Structure 1
Protein backbone atom coordinates (compact mmCIF):
# COMPACT_ATOMS: atom_id res chain seq x y z
CA UNK A 1 0.00 0.00 0.00
CA UNK A 2 2.80 2.40 0.92
CA UNK A 3 4.44 1.82 -2.46
CA UNK A 4 1.22 2.94 -4.17
CA UNK A 5 -0.25 5.58 -1.83
CA UNK A 6 1.67 8.50 -0.24
CA UNK A 7 1.55 8.07 3.57
CA UNK A 8 2.40 10.91 5.94
CA UNK A 9 2.49 8.97 9.20
CA UNK A 10 2.70 5.28 10.12
CA UNK A 11 2.16 3.95 13.67
CA UNK A 12 3.35 0.37 14.07
CA UNK A 13 4.03 -2.19 16.75
CA UNK A 14 7.49 -3.79 16.84
CA UNK A 15 6.67 -7.43 17.58
CA UNK A 16 4.20 -8.67 14.97
CA UNK A 17 3.54 -11.90 13.09
CA UNK A 18 5.40 -12.47 9.79
CA UNK A 19 7.46 -9.25 9.96
CA UNK A 20 8.63 -7.04 12.82
CA UNK A 21 8.04 -3.31 12.86
CA UNK A 22 11.80 -2.76 12.64
CA UNK A 23 12.07 -4.93 9.52
CA UNK A 24 9.02 -3.24 8.00
CA UNK A 25 10.45 0.27 8.41
CA UNK A 26 13.89 -0.88 7.26
CA UNK A 27 12.39 -2.20 4.00
CA UNK A 28 10.40 1.02 3.49
CA UNK A 29 13.52 3.15 3.98
CA UNK A 30 15.36 1.14 1.31
CA UNK A 31 12.65 1.60 -1.33
CA UNK A 32 12.35 4.55 -3.72
CA UNK A 33 8.72 5.12 -2.82
CA UNK A 34 6.69 8.24 -3.56
CA UNK A 35 6.90 9.48 0.02
CA UNK A 36 8.84 8.27 3.07
CA UNK A 37 6.40 8.30 6.00
CA UNK A 38 7.18 9.57 9.48
CA UNK A 39 7.07 6.59 11.86
CA UNK A 40 6.01 6.11 15.48
CA UNK A 41 6.84 2.79 17.15
CA UNK A 42 4.59 1.36 19.85
CA UNK A 43 6.05 -1.46 21.93
CA UNK A 44 5.62 -3.30 25.18
CA UNK A 45 9.38 -3.88 25.38
CA UNK A 46 11.86 -1.26 26.58
CA UNK A 47 14.87 -2.98 25.03
CA UNK A 48 17.90 -0.84 24.26
CA UNK A 49 18.52 -2.67 20.98
CA UNK A 50 15.02 -1.78 19.76
CA UNK A 51 15.45 1.89 20.64
CA UNK A 52 18.90 1.97 19.03
CA UNK A 53 17.59 0.47 15.78
CA UNK A 54 14.63 2.89 15.86
CA UNK A 55 17.07 5.82 16.00
CA UNK A 56 19.02 4.41 13.05
CA UNK A 57 15.80 4.26 11.03
CA UNK A 58 14.99 7.92 11.86
CA UNK A 59 11.80 6.99 13.70
CA UNK A 60 9.99 10.02 15.16
CA UNK A 61 9.00 8.46 18.49
CA UNK A 62 9.15 5.23 20.52
CA UNK A 63 6.14 4.79 22.83
CA UNK A 64 5.91 2.14 25.52
CA UNK A 65 2.62 0.37 26.17
CA UNK A 66 0.22 1.14 27.66
CA UNK A 67 0.10 4.40 25.69
CA UNK A 68 -2.14 7.12 27.09
CA UNK A 69 -4.40 9.06 24.72
CA UNK A 70 -2.77 12.46 25.42
CA UNK A 71 0.74 11.07 24.93
CA UNK A 72 -0.23 9.46 21.63
CA UNK A 73 -1.88 12.66 20.35
CA UNK A 74 1.19 14.72 21.32
CA UNK A 75 3.46 12.26 19.52
CA UNK A 76 1.29 12.32 16.38
CA UNK A 77 1.17 16.13 16.35
CA UNK A 78 4.96 16.30 16.71
CA UNK A 79 5.51 13.80 13.90
CA UNK A 80 3.14 15.61 11.52
CA UNK A 81 4.76 18.98 12.29
CA UNK A 82 8.21 17.52 11.58
CA UNK A 83 6.88 16.12 8.29
CA UNK A 84 5.54 19.54 7.27
CA UNK A 85 8.92 21.14 8.04
CA UNK A 86 10.67 18.48 5.95
CA UNK A 87 8.27 19.08 3.05
CA UNK A 88 8.94 22.80 3.32
CA UNK A 89 12.69 22.23 3.12
CA UNK A 90 12.27 20.03 0.04
CA UNK A 91 10.13 22.70 -1.56
CA UNK A 92 12.68 25.42 -0.76
CA UNK A 93 15.51 23.38 -2.25
CA UNK A 94 13.58 22.98 -5.50
CA UNK A 95 12.74 26.66 -5.88
CA UNK A 96 15.57 28.44 -4.06
CA UNK A 97 17.97 30.78 -5.81
CA UNK A 98 21.48 29.48 -4.92
CA UNK A 99 22.90 32.98 -4.70
CA UNK A 100 20.17 34.11 -2.31
CA UNK A 101 20.71 30.98 -0.23
CA UNK A 102 24.44 31.75 -0.04
CA UNK A 103 23.67 35.24 1.29
CA UNK A 104 21.17 33.81 3.80
CA UNK A 105 23.77 31.32 5.04
CA UNK A 106 26.15 34.22 5.73
CA UNK A 107 23.50 36.54 7.20
CA UNK A 108 24.97 36.33 10.71
CA UNK A 109 28.18 38.04 9.59
CA UNK A 110 26.50 40.84 7.61
CA UNK A 111 26.51 44.32 9.10
CA UNK A 112 23.33 45.67 10.68
CA UNK A 113 22.67 48.14 7.84
CA UNK A 114 22.69 45.38 5.22
CA UNK A 115 20.44 43.15 7.34
CA UNK A 116 18.00 46.04 7.79
CA UNK A 117 18.02 46.63 4.04
CA UNK A 118 17.25 42.97 3.37
CA UNK A 119 14.40 43.07 5.88
CA UNK A 120 13.04 46.17 4.17
CA UNK A 121 13.02 44.33 0.84
CA UNK A 122 11.14 41.42 2.45
CA UNK A 123 8.42 43.67 3.88
CA UNK A 124 8.02 45.76 0.69
CA UNK A 125 8.37 42.96 -1.87
CA UNK A 126 5.13 43.95 -3.67
CA UNK A 127 6.37 47.52 -4.22
CA UNK A 128 8.91 49.14 -6.53
CA UNK A 129 12.10 49.33 -4.43
CA UNK A 130 14.87 51.80 -5.21
CA UNK A 131 18.41 51.91 -3.89
CA UNK A 132 18.05 55.52 -2.73
CA UNK A 133 14.85 54.69 -0.86
CA UNK A 134 16.48 51.82 1.05
CA UNK A 135 19.72 53.74 1.65
CA UNK A 136 17.63 56.49 3.26
CA UNK A 137 15.81 53.90 5.36
CA UNK A 138 19.11 52.63 6.82
CA UNK A 139 20.47 56.20 7.13
CA UNK A 140 23.35 55.82 4.67
CA UNK A 141 24.51 57.73 1.62
CA UNK A 142 23.28 56.00 -1.55
CA UNK A 143 26.73 55.55 -3.06
CA UNK A 144 28.21 54.21 0.18
CA UNK A 145 25.28 51.86 0.73
CA UNK A 146 25.63 50.51 -2.82
CA UNK A 147 29.34 49.74 -2.31
CA UNK A 148 28.74 48.26 1.15
CA UNK A 149 25.96 45.95 -0.05
CA UNK A 150 28.00 44.68 -3.01
CA UNK A 151 31.06 44.11 -0.82
CA UNK A 152 29.12 42.07 1.74
CA UNK A 153 26.68 40.21 -0.54
CA UNK A 154 28.80 39.78 -3.68
CA UNK A 155 26.03 41.26 -5.87
CA UNK A 156 24.52 44.65 -6.64
CA UNK A 157 21.56 45.72 -4.55
CA UNK A 158 19.37 45.98 -7.66
CA UNK A 159 20.21 42.38 -8.60
CA UNK A 160 19.40 41.24 -5.06
CA UNK A 161 15.99 42.92 -5.25
CA UNK A 162 15.30 41.32 -8.63
CA UNK A 163 16.31 37.85 -7.44
CA UNK A 164 14.24 38.19 -4.27
CA UNK A 165 11.17 39.32 -6.21
CA UNK A 166 11.55 36.43 -8.65
CA UNK A 167 11.95 34.05 -5.70
CA UNK A 168 8.61 35.32 -4.41
CA UNK A 169 7.12 34.76 -7.88
CA UNK A 170 8.43 31.18 -7.99
CA UNK A 171 6.88 30.43 -4.61
CA UNK A 172 3.52 31.78 -5.79
CA UNK A 173 3.75 29.81 -9.03
CA UNK A 174 4.30 26.61 -7.06
CA UNK A 175 1.91 27.16 -4.17
CA UNK A 176 -1.03 28.88 -5.85
CA UNK A 177 -3.10 28.82 -9.03
CA UNK A 178 -3.07 32.62 -9.33
CA UNK A 179 -2.90 34.05 -12.88
CA UNK A 180 0.56 35.11 -14.05
CA UNK A 181 -0.56 38.76 -14.13
CA UNK A 182 -1.56 38.61 -10.45
CA UNK A 183 1.71 36.94 -9.51
CA UNK A 184 3.62 39.68 -11.34
CA UNK A 185 1.81 42.34 -9.29
CA UNK A 186 2.36 40.49 -6.01
CA UNK A 187 6.06 40.31 -6.86
CA UNK A 188 6.26 44.04 -7.42
CA UNK A 189 5.92 44.23 -11.21
CA UNK A 190 3.04 46.19 -12.70
CA UNK A 191 3.96 45.34 -16.30
CA UNK A 192 3.40 41.64 -16.99
CA UNK A 193 5.40 41.74 -20.22
CA UNK A 194 8.47 43.04 -18.37
CA UNK A 195 7.97 40.46 -15.58
CA UNK A 196 7.83 37.63 -18.15
CA UNK A 197 10.99 38.91 -19.86
CA UNK A 198 12.87 39.18 -16.57
CA UNK A 199 11.69 35.78 -15.37
CA UNK A 200 12.82 34.12 -18.58
CA UNK A 201 16.18 35.89 -18.40
CA UNK A 202 16.89 34.49 -14.91
CA UNK A 203 15.12 31.11 -15.06
CA UNK A 204 15.55 30.24 -18.74
CA UNK A 205 11.81 29.74 -19.29
CA UNK A 206 8.50 31.57 -19.02
CA UNK A 207 6.57 31.66 -15.70
CA UNK A 208 3.87 29.43 -17.20
CA UNK A 209 6.36 26.80 -18.31
CA UNK A 210 8.12 26.97 -14.93
CA UNK A 211 4.82 26.28 -13.17
CA UNK A 212 3.99 23.37 -15.46
CA UNK A 213 7.45 21.78 -15.14
CA UNK A 214 7.68 22.20 -11.37
CA UNK A 215 4.16 20.92 -10.79
CA UNK A 216 5.08 17.89 -12.86
CA UNK A 217 8.12 17.38 -10.65
CA UNK A 218 5.88 17.62 -7.55
CA UNK A 219 3.84 14.68 -8.83
CA UNK A 220 7.01 12.64 -9.30
CA UNK A 221 8.52 13.28 -5.86
CA UNK A 222 5.46 13.21 -3.62
Structure 2
Protein backbone atom coordinates (compact mmCIF):
# COMPACT_ATOMS: atom_id res chain seq x y z
CA UNK A 1 0.00 0.00 0.00
CA UNK A 2 1.51 3.33 -1.08
CA UNK A 3 1.20 6.41 1.13
CA UNK A 4 0.22 9.88 -0.10
CA UNK A 5 0.76 12.87 2.21
CA UNK A 6 -1.29 16.02 1.49
CA UNK A 7 0.08 19.25 3.00
CA UNK A 8 -1.96 22.46 2.91
CA UNK A 9 -2.77 25.09 5.53
CA UNK A 10 -6.19 25.66 3.98
CA UNK A 11 -8.61 23.05 5.41
CA UNK A 12 -10.99 23.28 2.45
CA UNK A 13 -8.29 22.50 -0.11
CA UNK A 14 -6.64 19.86 2.08
CA UNK A 15 -9.88 17.98 2.68
CA UNK A 16 -11.00 18.42 -0.92
CA UNK A 17 -7.82 16.78 -2.25
CA UNK A 18 -8.11 14.04 0.37
CA UNK A 19 -11.70 13.18 -0.58
CA UNK A 20 -10.89 13.09 -4.32
CA UNK A 21 -7.92 10.77 -3.75
CA UNK A 22 -9.78 8.52 -1.32
CA UNK A 23 -12.54 8.09 -3.90
CA UNK A 24 -10.00 7.38 -6.65
CA UNK A 25 -7.93 5.07 -4.45
CA UNK A 26 -10.82 2.88 -3.22
CA UNK A 27 -8.64 1.81 -0.30
CA UNK A 28 -5.60 0.89 -2.43
CA UNK A 29 -3.53 3.72 -0.95
CA UNK A 30 -3.08 5.30 2.46
CA UNK A 31 -4.03 8.99 2.40
CA UNK A 32 -2.60 11.22 5.16
CA UNK A 33 -2.84 14.99 5.70
CA UNK A 34 -0.82 17.71 7.44
CA UNK A 35 -1.87 21.31 8.07
CA UNK A 36 1.61 22.83 7.74
CA UNK A 37 5.16 22.20 6.54
CA UNK A 38 6.25 21.83 10.17
CA UNK A 39 3.59 19.18 10.81
CA UNK A 40 4.56 17.41 7.58
CA UNK A 41 8.25 17.21 8.57
CA UNK A 42 7.30 15.88 12.01
CA UNK A 43 5.16 13.20 10.36
CA UNK A 44 7.89 12.31 7.84
CA UNK A 45 10.42 11.92 10.65
CA UNK A 46 8.52 8.81 11.76
CA UNK A 47 6.76 7.67 8.57
CA UNK A 48 7.55 7.12 4.90
CA UNK A 49 5.51 8.63 2.06
CA UNK A 50 5.62 7.65 -1.59
CA UNK A 51 4.04 10.90 -2.79
CA UNK A 52 3.87 14.36 -1.24
CA UNK A 53 1.25 16.85 -2.45
CA UNK A 54 1.96 20.29 -0.99
CA UNK A 55 0.74 23.85 -1.27
CA UNK A 56 3.53 26.24 -2.18
CA UNK A 57 2.58 29.15 0.13
CA UNK A 58 2.32 28.22 3.80
CA UNK A 59 3.45 29.95 7.02
CA UNK A 60 6.79 29.02 8.63
CA UNK A 61 7.84 26.38 6.07
CA UNK A 62 6.58 26.91 2.53
CA UNK A 63 6.15 24.20 -0.07
CA UNK A 64 9.50 24.73 -1.80
CA UNK A 65 11.34 24.84 1.55
CA UNK A 66 9.59 21.61 2.48
CA UNK A 67 10.61 19.97 -0.82
CA UNK A 68 14.21 21.08 -0.28
CA UNK A 69 14.20 19.48 3.18
CA UNK A 70 13.05 16.16 1.72
CA UNK A 71 16.61 15.55 0.53
CA UNK A 72 17.53 14.84 4.15
CA UNK A 73 15.23 11.79 4.20
CA UNK A 74 16.50 8.28 3.50
CA UNK A 75 13.62 7.65 1.06
CA UNK A 76 12.22 11.02 -0.11
CA UNK A 77 8.80 10.95 -1.79
CA UNK A 78 8.06 12.31 -5.25
CA UNK A 79 6.26 15.64 -5.17
CA UNK A 80 3.29 17.46 -6.68
CA UNK A 81 3.05 21.21 -5.98
CA UNK A 82 -0.30 22.99 -5.79
CA UNK A 83 -0.57 26.78 -5.88
CA UNK A 84 -3.09 29.56 -6.20
CA UNK A 85 -0.54 31.64 -8.05
CA UNK A 86 0.90 30.87 -11.52
CA UNK A 87 4.31 32.47 -10.75
CA UNK A 88 6.91 31.37 -13.27
CA UNK A 89 9.76 31.57 -10.74
CA UNK A 90 7.96 29.18 -8.39
CA UNK A 91 7.24 26.72 -11.17
CA UNK A 92 10.81 26.89 -12.47
CA UNK A 93 12.30 26.28 -9.03
CA UNK A 94 9.85 23.44 -8.40
CA UNK A 95 11.02 21.73 -11.59
CA UNK A 96 14.64 22.15 -10.49
CA UNK A 97 13.77 20.23 -7.33
CA UNK A 98 12.39 17.38 -9.43
CA UNK A 99 8.72 18.13 -8.73
CA UNK A 100 6.54 15.93 -10.95
CA UNK A 101 3.65 18.35 -11.51
CA UNK A 102 2.63 21.95 -10.72
CA UNK A 103 -1.15 22.26 -10.34
CA UNK A 104 -2.99 25.55 -10.08
CA UNK A 105 -5.98 26.22 -7.82
CA UNK A 106 -8.86 25.73 -8.24
CA UNK A 107 -7.65 22.19 -8.81
CA UNK A 108 -9.24 20.22 -11.63
CA UNK A 109 -10.13 16.80 -10.20
CA UNK A 110 -9.21 14.89 -13.38
CA UNK A 111 -5.87 16.68 -13.64
CA UNK A 112 -5.19 15.91 -9.97
CA UNK A 113 -5.83 12.18 -10.43
CA UNK A 114 -3.76 12.09 -13.64
CA UNK A 115 -0.89 13.87 -11.89
CA UNK A 116 -1.03 11.45 -8.95
CA UNK A 117 -0.99 8.42 -11.27
CA UNK A 118 2.02 9.86 -13.15
CA UNK A 119 3.82 10.66 -9.89
CA UNK A 120 3.32 7.16 -8.46
CA UNK A 121 4.64 5.61 -11.68
CA UNK A 122 7.70 7.88 -11.40
CA UNK A 123 8.17 6.76 -7.80
CA UNK A 124 8.00 3.10 -8.86
CA UNK A 125 10.66 3.68 -11.51
CA UNK A 126 12.93 5.43 -9.01
CA UNK A 127 12.48 2.56 -6.56
CA UNK A 128 13.20 0.01 -9.29
CA UNK A 129 16.44 1.80 -10.19
CA UNK A 130 17.47 1.98 -6.53
CA UNK A 131 16.76 -1.73 -6.17
CA UNK A 132 18.88 -2.56 -9.22
CA UNK A 133 21.71 -0.43 -7.85
CA UNK A 134 21.55 -2.46 -4.65
CA UNK A 135 21.57 -5.67 -6.66
CA UNK A 136 24.44 -4.98 -9.05
CA UNK A 137 28.09 -4.73 -7.99
CA UNK A 138 29.44 -1.63 -9.82
CA UNK A 139 32.95 -3.08 -10.13
CA UNK A 140 31.59 -6.28 -11.66
CA UNK A 141 29.38 -4.23 -13.97
CA UNK A 142 32.40 -2.26 -15.18
CA UNK A 143 34.32 -5.50 -15.62
CA UNK A 144 31.45 -7.05 -17.61
CA UNK A 145 31.37 -4.06 -19.94
CA UNK A 146 35.08 -4.55 -20.62
CA UNK A 147 34.87 -8.34 -20.95
CA UNK A 148 34.99 -8.32 -24.76
CA UNK A 149 38.38 -6.65 -24.53
CA UNK A 150 39.78 -9.46 -22.37
CA UNK A 151 42.15 -11.92 -23.92
CA UNK A 152 40.83 -15.42 -24.63
CA UNK A 153 42.48 -16.87 -21.53
CA UNK A 154 40.85 -14.39 -19.13
CA UNK A 155 37.49 -14.75 -20.89
CA UNK A 156 37.71 -18.52 -20.44
CA UNK A 157 38.72 -18.04 -16.79
CA UNK A 158 35.64 -15.89 -16.13
CA UNK A 159 33.36 -18.40 -17.88
CA UNK A 160 34.91 -21.31 -15.97
CA UNK A 161 34.53 -19.44 -12.67
CA UNK A 162 30.90 -18.42 -13.28
CA UNK A 163 29.95 -22.05 -13.90
CA UNK A 164 31.53 -23.18 -10.62
CA UNK A 165 30.57 -20.54 -8.07
CA UNK A 166 29.06 -23.23 -5.87
CA UNK A 167 32.36 -25.11 -5.77
CA UNK A 168 35.74 -24.57 -4.16
CA UNK A 169 37.73 -22.93 -6.97
CA UNK A 170 41.28 -21.68 -6.56
CA UNK A 171 43.54 -19.61 -8.76
CA UNK A 172 45.67 -22.72 -9.31
CA UNK A 173 42.62 -24.72 -10.45
CA UNK A 174 41.91 -22.19 -13.20
CA UNK A 175 45.59 -21.81 -14.15
CA UNK A 176 45.80 -25.61 -14.52
CA UNK A 177 42.60 -25.59 -16.60
CA UNK A 178 44.20 -23.00 -18.89
CA UNK A 179 47.58 -24.82 -18.89
CA UNK A 180 49.23 -21.67 -17.56
CA UNK A 181 51.71 -20.83 -14.82
CA UNK A 182 49.68 -19.70 -11.78
CA UNK A 183 51.82 -16.62 -11.09
CA UNK A 184 51.64 -15.47 -14.72
CA UNK A 185 47.87 -16.03 -14.81
CA UNK A 186 47.46 -13.99 -11.60
CA UNK A 187 49.25 -10.99 -13.12
CA UNK A 188 47.39 -11.33 -16.44
CA UNK A 189 44.01 -11.55 -14.71
CA UNK A 190 44.59 -8.40 -12.65
CA UNK A 191 45.93 -6.46 -15.64
CA UNK A 192 42.80 -7.15 -17.68
CA UNK A 193 40.04 -7.07 -15.04
CA UNK A 194 41.47 -4.49 -12.64
CA UNK A 195 40.91 -6.92 -9.77
CA UNK A 196 42.89 -9.70 -8.18
CA UNK A 197 41.50 -13.18 -8.77
CA UNK A 198 40.53 -13.37 -5.09
CA UNK A 199 38.61 -10.08 -5.18
CA UNK A 200 36.84 -11.02 -8.41
CA UNK A 201 35.83 -14.40 -7.01
CA UNK A 202 34.52 -12.85 -3.78
CA UNK A 203 32.54 -10.16 -5.60
CA UNK A 204 31.09 -12.66 -8.05
CA UNK A 205 30.00 -14.99 -5.23
CA UNK A 206 28.42 -12.14 -3.29
CA UNK A 207 26.71 -10.95 -6.48
CA UNK A 208 25.18 -14.40 -6.94
CA UNK A 209 24.16 -14.38 -3.28
CA UNK A 210 22.41 -11.01 -3.74
CA UNK A 211 20.48 -12.40 -6.70
CA UNK A 212 19.38 -15.40 -4.64
CA UNK A 213 18.48 -13.25 -1.62
CA UNK A 214 16.34 -10.95 -3.75
CA UNK A 215 14.70 -13.57 -5.95
CA UNK A 216 14.25 -16.73 -3.89
CA UNK A 217 13.18 -17.95 -0.47
CA UNK A 218 16.35 -19.98 0.05
CA UNK A 219 17.75 -19.85 3.58
CA UNK A 220 21.08 -18.18 4.37
CA UNK A 221 22.60 -21.67 4.83
CA UNK A 222 21.37 -22.79 1.41
CA UNK A 223 22.63 -19.62 -0.26
CA UNK A 224 26.04 -19.95 1.37
CA UNK A 225 26.30 -23.48 -0.05
CA UNK A 226 25.22 -22.35 -3.52
CA UNK A 227 27.86 -19.64 -3.55
CA UNK A 228 30.79 -21.84 -2.57
CA UNK A 229 31.13 -21.07 1.14
CA UNK A 230 31.78 -23.96 3.50
CA UNK A 231 29.97 -22.33 6.43
CA UNK A 232 27.13 -19.82 6.68
CA UNK A 233 29.06 -17.96 9.39
CA UNK A 234 31.95 -17.21 7.02
CA UNK A 235 29.55 -16.32 4.21
CA UNK A 236 27.79 -13.77 6.46
CA UNK A 237 31.15 -12.29 7.45
CA UNK A 238 32.31 -11.87 3.84
CA UNK A 239 28.93 -10.50 2.75
CA UNK A 240 28.89 -7.92 5.54
CA UNK A 241 32.45 -6.82 4.76
CA UNK A 242 31.58 -6.17 1.12
CA UNK A 243 28.01 -4.83 1.42
CA UNK A 244 28.03 -3.24 4.88
CA UNK A 245 24.93 -5.21 5.95
CA UNK A 246 24.15 -8.83 6.74
CA UNK A 247 22.49 -11.06 4.11
CA UNK A 248 19.24 -10.91 6.09
CA UNK A 249 19.30 -7.12 6.24
CA UNK A 250 20.05 -6.95 2.53
CA UNK A 251 17.12 -9.25 1.70
CA UNK A 252 14.80 -7.05 3.76
CA UNK A 253 16.01 -3.86 2.06
CA UNK A 254 15.30 -5.14 -1.46
CA UNK A 255 11.98 -6.84 -0.70
CA UNK A 256 10.37 -4.56 1.90
CA UNK A 257 8.41 -2.63 -0.74
CA UNK A 258 6.53 -5.78 -1.71
CA UNK A 259 8.39 -7.18 -4.70
CA UNK A 260 7.35 -10.75 -5.35
CA UNK A 261 9.72 -13.49 -4.22
CA UNK A 262 9.41 -16.62 -6.29
Same fold (TM over 0.5): yes
1:22 equivalent in alignment to 2:59: no
- SS of the equivalent of 2:47 reads coil
1:104 aligned partner: 141
Q: Distance in 2 between matches of 1:19 and 1:155?
A: 50
After TM superposition, give the deviation of residue 165 of structure 1 in Å: 0.8
2:33 aligned partner: none
1:3 aligned partner: 45
Residue of 194, 207, 210 corresponding to 2:246: 210
1:55 aligned partner: 95
After TM superposition, give the deviation of residue 102 of structure 1 in Å: 3.5
**Is the 2:224–2:235 contact (alpha carbons within 8 Å) kept by the matching residues of 1?**
no
Cα RMSD (Å) of the superposition?
Answer: 4.6
Kindly name which structure, 1 or 2, has the bigger radius of gyration based on alpha carbons.
2
Deviation sequence 1:42-93 (CA, Å, 0-9, x none): 446543311332134333x12445426445413321133213423554x45x
1:78 aligned partner: 122
2:38 aligned partner: none
- SS of the equivalent of 1:182 reads helix
Deviation sequence 1:138-171 (CA, Å, 0-9, x none): xx94538765433212334455223311343356
**Is the 1:125–1:165 contact (alpha carbons within 8 Å) kept by the matching residues of 2?**
no
Q: Which has the higher contact order (CA 8 A, sep 6+)?
A: 1
**Is the 2:236–2:246 contact (alpha carbons within 8 Å) kept by the matching residues of 1?**
no
Task: Give the alignment's TM-score, normalised by structure 1.
Answer: 0.59
After TM superposition, give the deviation of residue 182 of structure 1 in Å: 1.2
**Is the 1:43–1:63 contact (alpha carbons within 8 Å) kept by the matching residues of 2?**
yes
The count of corresponding residues between Structure 1 and Structure 2 is 196
Q: Distance in 2 between matches of 1:116 and 1:25?
A: 51
Task: Give the alignment's TM-score, normalised by structure 2.
Answer: 0.52
Deviation sequence 1:11-32 (CA, Å, 0-9, x none): 2233457753223323444xx5
1:13 aligned partner: 55
- SS of the equivalent of 1:40 reads strand
Q: Distance in 2 between matches of 1:174 and 1:41?
A: 35
Q: Distance in 1 between matches of 2:224 and 2:188?
A: 29
Q: Distance in 2 between matches of 1:108 and 1:74?
A: 33
- SS of the equivalent of 1:39 reads strand
Report which stretch shifted further, 170-179 or 151-160: 170-179
User: Closer, same or farther in 2 for the Cα pair 1:68/1:119, shift >3 Å?
Assistant: farther
Residue of 134, 147, 167 corresponding to 1:128: 167
Deviation sequence 1:160-218 (CA, Å, 0-9, x none): 223311343356568877433211133245x4x3x54465467569xxx9347x47x96
User: Closer, same or farther in 2 for the Cα pair 1:202/1:210, shift >3 Å?
Assistant: closer
